[in-house]
Amino acid sequence: MEGSDFLKPKKEAEISRRRPPRFELIADNVALDFVNTLDNRNTNPKELIESYNDLLRFAEDSGVLQHGLVDKLIERSYIAKDRAQDVLVRAREMREAMHEVFRAILQKKPAPPAAFSPRQRRRTVGRWAYERDSEKNGFEWRYDDFGSFDVVMWPIARAAVDLLASDQLQYVRSCSAKTCDWLFLDTSKNHHRRWCDMKVCGNRAKVRRFYARQKKES
């Protein structure tokens, strides 16, 4: 298998899972799903990426790293715990920088300069190379160090950069529920999606409106 194959995203239906999925992926963009791994951040923050292995499981669930590479990194993380922990810290920093940028965009405010500081770029810029793919008769991005613990960060970072530079940026949304602040990419036909998940926040809103009407009528 080519090294870059480990990083090629797969459609959910094509991912043959060996472990049950751990993360709720509703954003239609891996960078936004990653931002959502700090749940209830404005009320009672709940960290969903508690360990380096959690970070790998997120990458596996979202399809940005394949099982073989995840297994190898999990095994190595038990030996080089300090290196794995350093990547965990950097990944969380990257996540919060992403959140600040996308939140500023939603609020139509300038992105915080710190999110683009040289220090942040040094900690989140991977070793990518733009190389020719002879089979596809074109070019593609390849990562040149699959043995590195931080390989898990770069598909996520690249997804964020690609979104920021795309015409899809205008469709980044925040859940309309008062108790939820998850982000998502509105890929609906009319771009009128309001909820992170209709089955959760959407239904809760419907129930609240129903009881409010019942109370008003009584």
H helix or E strand, kind and range, residue 139: strand 138-143
The residue that leads in pLDDT, 45 or 202, is 45
User: What whole-number percentage of the chain has pLDDT above 70?
Assistant: 68
* CA–CA dist 81, 103 (Å, integer): 33
Nearest residue to 102 (alpha-carbon basis) of 172, 29, 36: 172
The residue that leads in pLDDT, 60 or 15, is 60
Instruction: Kindly report the pTM of this predicted structure.
Output: 0.78
Residue 58 and residue 25 in contact, taking contact as beta carbons nearer than 8 Å = no
Q: What is the pLDDT of residue 131?
A: 46
Q: What is the pLDDT of residue 145?
A: 54
- Averaged pLDDT, 179-198: 89
* CA–CA dist 6, 154 (Å, integer): 12
Residue 6 and residue 66 in contact, taking contact as beta carbons nearer than 8 Å = yes
- Averaged pLDDT, 90-117: 88
pLDDT digits (tens, 9 = 90+) for 37-67: 999 888 889 999 999 999 999 999 999 998 8
pLDDT digits (tens, 9 = 90+) for 130-151: 444 556 555 555 555 556 899 9
Secondary structure of residue 76 in the 3-state scheme: helix
